[in-house]
Amino acid sequence: MSQTIRPFRSVLYIPASNARALEKAQSLQADAIIFDLEDAVAPAEKTAARDVLKAALAERDYGKRYRIVRINGFDTEWGSGDLDMLKTARFDAVLLPKLETPEAVDKVTDALGAEASVWAMMETPAGILNAAQLAQLPALEGFVMGTNDLAKELRSNGREAMRTSLQHCLLAARAAGIVCVDGVYNAFKDAEGLEAECIEGRNYGFDGKTLIHPAQLEIANRIFAPSSDDADLARRQIEAYEEAIARGEAVAVVDGRIVENLHVETARHLLAQVEAIEEMEAAA
């Protein structure tokens, strides 16, 4: 599913059972919120959490923050009930855990309609290997890297061991034109480590990072946003290229580098990102 440009620099998990956190999320500088009915909610609280979340989505104003609801898997006793609740809830997308095949996506669209937006947790070897097929599903809007579960499945906690999986999902996402966000950084008090991993994720090509604590928002928002220097260069590239075309030339030169049409497309996309971020922050 091709996306309108909007920022997904910071995608914050919020436990669906935590009424106080659901209220506080209205004022947090998050581009998107994952309202989590799965891992963040204890089994004894899962049924009640549906009612807490549904009320929050109906009564709270989350502004331009994208509202994603992670439901429990359909192989659990709660998944179908979560999906039933969403039939009358206010949200933007459903996040499916451990997605490996199209059948779970079909179940969502059968229940919520063909226009439903679905995101996928990419956190198992089978899911990673099927990423290209999953990304092309009409309802699929985004991938979320589930690096904690993936580490368990790979039997390695090292980020290096996940590189192939991360890049494979990014390739599939870019081929399909969908969003792809990096996994969480568990040491939420380690700002230096988070910043380093955000920079790595940005350099890989991720749209943003999933986060587990509000203290992580500032770093992710800053790292995954185009810098002022990037925006300035983009404007100069577009201007120089348009002037070159007006002269009947096919390329321009900016700062000693060739600027072709592909560079201008990238520059326009970057400036659209800047505008979308400015709109998001103005509305927060």
Question: Among the listed ranges 19-28, 153-162, 234-243, which one has the minimum average pLDDT value?
Answer: 153-162
Tell me phi and psi for residue 14, to 5 degrees: -130, 125
> How much is the average pLDDT of 150-168?
94
> How much is the average pLDDT of 53-57?
97
* pLDDT tier, 1 (very low <50, low <70, confident <90, very high otherwise): very low
Percentage with pLDDT > 90 across the chain: 95
What pLDDT, on a 0 to 100 scale, did the predictor assign at position 283? Answer: 78
What pLDDT, on a 0 to 100 scale, did the predictor assign at position 4? Answer: 59
* pLDDT tier, 103 (very low <50, low <70, confident <90, very high otherwise): very high
Write the single-letter amino acid at 191. A
* pLDDT tier, 80 (very low <50, low <70, confident <90, very high otherwise): very high
> How much is the average pLDDT of 102-115?
97
Q: CATH number of 10-223: 3.40.50.10330, 3.90.1860.10, 3.20.20.60, 3.40.50.2300?
A: 3.20.20.60
* pLDDT tier, 214 (very low <50, low <70, confident <90, very high otherwise): very high
- Between 158 and 16, the more confident residue is 16
For 92, half-sphere exposure in the C-beta direction (CA atoms, 13 angstrom radius) is: 15
Q: Provide the mean pLDDT of the chain.
A: 96
pLDDT at 62 > cutoff 60? yes
Nearest to 204 by CA among 152, 162, 250: 162
> How much is the average pLDDT of 190-201?
98
> How much is the average pLDDT of 79-86?
98
